[in-house]
Amino acid sequence: GAVVSQHPSWVICKSGTSVKIECRSLDFQATTMFWYRQFPKKSLMLMATSNEGSKATYEQGVEKDKFLINHASLTLSTLTVTSAHPEDSSFYICSASSRWRGANTEAFFGQGTRLTVV
Amino acid sequence: QQQVKQSPQSLIVQKGGISIINCAYENTAFDYFPWYQQFPGKGPALLIAIRPDVSEKKEGRFTISFNKSAKQFSLHIMDSQPGDSATYFCAGGVYNNNDMRFGAGTRLTVKP
């Protein structure tokens, strides 16, 4: 299957700082990328959907000014957690899909990024 | 946001046994139902998926059963192996969008 890579795999940051997480599609052009958040032993909660070249669509309850998403190219989307606080500590996962004949293809997931805010 | 309900929360099965995980969805617009396997510290990996035009799909030891009228679908893992021990998530979504909603997950433990 297609490869989606996230970087970093884990990061520890101080409260009040910002952290950027990258999601790259390595062998296909990702027209759409999704960002999820997963708490320990919990399900994946969709945070936002981003389409290349346009603004991300955020799910209800997700602060767009806190979680900045940029999808500047067909192979890269970034999630920046601004002014991080301990409650932002979580496992963040991206997925990416491309379009084929007008329809989105299967979405492939990255390996996730564990963020710990101290 | 929890539009897909999954049970059980955890499941313990003996090696060689059958593991069964059930899901129910609410949104009738959903037409794509994948199952994902996730190991600790890793992202989910697609295991098998089904569209509503069929009632069953089998790939190796993994089978999805789908009941459109009941809005339910289930994953059966035949001849379960210790290597199958992982968390399994069902999901529902609109096929063209890949905008999926995930179930709460089932932690499967297969005992040798």
- Helix, strand, coil abundance in chain A, percent, nearest 5: 5, 55, 45
DSSP 3-state of A106: coil
Token pair 């890793």 in the structure block, residue? B42
Q: Does B18 touch chain A (CB under 8 A)?
A: no
Confidence of residue B74 (pLDDT cuts 50, 70, 90): very high
For residue B27, the chain A residues in CB contact (below 8 A) are none
Asked whether the CA dihedral A58, A59, A65, A69 is positive or negative, the reply is negative
Burial A27-55 (b: 16+ CB within 10 A, else e): ebebbbbbbbbbeeeebbbbbbbbebeee
Distance from CA of A99 to the nearest CA of B (A): 9
- Could you tell me which chain A residue has the CA closest to the CA of B34? A106
For residue B100, the chain A residues in CB contact (below 8 A) are 34, 46, 107
Peptide bond into B8 cis (omega under 30): yes
pLDDT at B18 over 90: yes
pLDDT in tens, B28-44: 999 999 999 999 888 99
**pLDDT at position A101:** 54
- The answer to whether A15 touches A86, Cβ cutoff 8 Å, is yes
Binding-face residues of A in 60-99 toward B, CB within 8 A? 60, 93, 95, 97
pLDDT at B82 over 80: yes
Peptide bond into B44 cis (omega under 30): no
Question: Quick one: average pLDDT of B20-32?
Answer: 94
8 Å CB contact of A43 and B103: yes
Alpha helices (H) in chain A, listed in sequence order: none
Would you give per-residue pLDDT tens digits along chain A (118 residues)? 668 999 999 999 999 999 999 999 988 888 889 999 998 888 889 999 988 878 899 999 999 999 999 988 889 999 999 999 999 999 999 998 876 655 556 778 999 999 999 9
**pLDDT at position A105:** 64
Take residue A37 and report the two structure tokens written for it: 């958040």
The residue among A22 and B1 whose pLDDT is bigger is A22
Question: Quick one: average pLDDT of B98-108?
Answer: 87
**pLDDT at position B69:** 94
Compute the radius of gyration of chain A from its Cα atoms: 14
